[in-house]
Amino acid sequence: MERRAYYKNPMLPWLLLAPQLLLVLVFFYWPTSQALYWAFTLEQPWGGGNSWVWFDNFISIFRDREYWGTVLRSGLYAMVTTGLSMAIALTLAAFVDRSLKGTKFFQSIFVWPYAIAAPAAGVAFRFIFAPESGLIGSINQVWPGIWDPATNGWHALAMVIVCHAWLGIGYNFIFFLAALQMIPRSISEAGAMDGARPFRRMLDLQLPLIAPTAFFLLIMNIISSFTDSFGLIDTMTEGGPIGQTEVMVYKIYFDGFKGLDYSGAAAQSIILMLLVIGLTFVQFKWVERRVHYN
C-alpha cells in the first residue's frame, strides 16, 4: 500500500520546504554556480566584467607543477590520516567489543574527540607540538633540534596529520563498534570452539564481516581529509613552512583570498568538488551492491 501524506492546499508543502530549500540554494547552489562561472571566465586586470575563456583556467592549473605537488601532498595526507585514524579506532573498538572491565566508560571517552571543532583541536595540538615548550617539544631538550615543525615541512605535515587522525578516531570508533556488535556473538564463540584465539578470530571472522562498514569509513575519511583539513592547517601552520603543508583545499583559499586569483581558485575548487562527488558516487554504488551475508 502506498503511504503518502496529501495536502489540500498545494502551496503548503512548498511553504514547509521553503526554509530548507532557501538554505541549500543560498549556501550551496548559488556559490557553486558562482564558482563554475569564475572557473570558466577571467576577470579583467582592472575590473570591468569577466571574459569567457573556456578551459584556460584548468589548463593553466594542470600545467602548474606546484599544483601537482599539492595534489600529491593531499593524496599522502589522505592516505596517512585515514589509515592512522581507522587503525587506531578499530583497535579501540575491538577492545571495547570484548567487553572488558570499564567498557562503558571507554565507550563514551573515545567518542569525545569527535565533538571538538577542528580549529580548537588545531590550537591545542599546536601547543602540544610546540618545539620550544610543548609536550612533544620536550624531546628537543634531549636531542636539540630534532623536532621543529616551524621550519621542517615533514614535521609540520606530520603534526597536522596526527591531529586530523585524532579528530576522526571518535567517528570511526562509533561505526566500528556498532559493526562489531552487529556480528552475532555466537560466530565468535564458534570460532573459539574451533580453536581460534581472539586475534585470529578478529582477522578471520570479524574483519571480513565488517568490511562494508570499513569501506564506508574509508570513503568518508578520504573525503574528510580533502575538505576538513582546512580548519586545522589554517590554525596550525597556515600552509607553511613555505607551502609544505598546503593541500588542495588550502591552496584554493590561499590562491583565491591571499593571491586574489579568483578564477584559478574557482577552477581548483571545481576539481576538488568533482573528486568528492566521484568518491561519493563510488560509495553509493558500492553500498547498493554490497554483499549481504545472511
Residue (205 or 223) nearer to other proteins, CB: 205
With binding defined as CB under 8 A, does residue 294 bind other proteins?
yes
With binding defined as CB under 8 A, does residue 193 bind other proteins?
yes
With binding defined as CB under 8 A, does residue 184 bind other proteins?
yes
β-partners of residue 42 are: 51
With binding defined as CB under 8 A, does residue 194 bind other proteins?
yes
**What does the alpha-carbon distance between residue 96 and residue 103 come to, in Å, rounded to a whole number?**
5
Structural contact between residues 169 and 88, judged by C-beta atoms closer than 8 angstroms: yes
Secondary structure E strands in the chain: 41-43, 50-52
Shortest approach of other proteins to residue 288 CB, angstroms? 18
For residue 96, which amino acid is it?
V
**Which range binds other proteins by CB under 8 A, 64-72, 103-111, 191-199, 277-285?**
191-199
With binding defined as CB under 8 A, does residue 124 bind other proteins?
no
Shortest approach of other proteins to residue 89 CB, angstroms? 22
**Which range binds other proteins by CB under 8 A, 67-75, 185-193, 229-237, 258-266?**
185-193
Residue that is written with C-alpha cell 600529491 in the block: 72
Shortest approach of other proteins to residue 205 CB, angstroms? 6
With binding defined as CB under 8 A, does residue 195 bind other proteins?
yes
**What does the alpha-carbon distance between residue 131 and residue 148 come to, in Å, rounded to a whole number?**
6
Residue that is written with C-alpha cell 574451533 in the block: 194
With binding defined as CB under 8 A, does residue 214 bind other proteins?
no
C-alpha triplet 262, 81, 257: angle, nearest 5°: 15
Shortest approach of other proteins to residue 187 CB, angstroms? 5
Residue (31 or 102) nearer to other proteins, CB: 102
Phi-psi region of 157 (alpha: psi -120 to 50; beta: other; left: phi over 0): alpha
**What does the alpha-carbon distance between residue 92 and residue 170 come to, in Å, rounded to a whole number?**
10
Residue (66 or 204) nearer to other proteins, CB: 204
Cis peptide before 144 (omega within 30 of 0): no
Residues that bind other proteins (CB under 8 A): 184, 186-187, 189-197, 200, 204-205, 208-209, 292-294
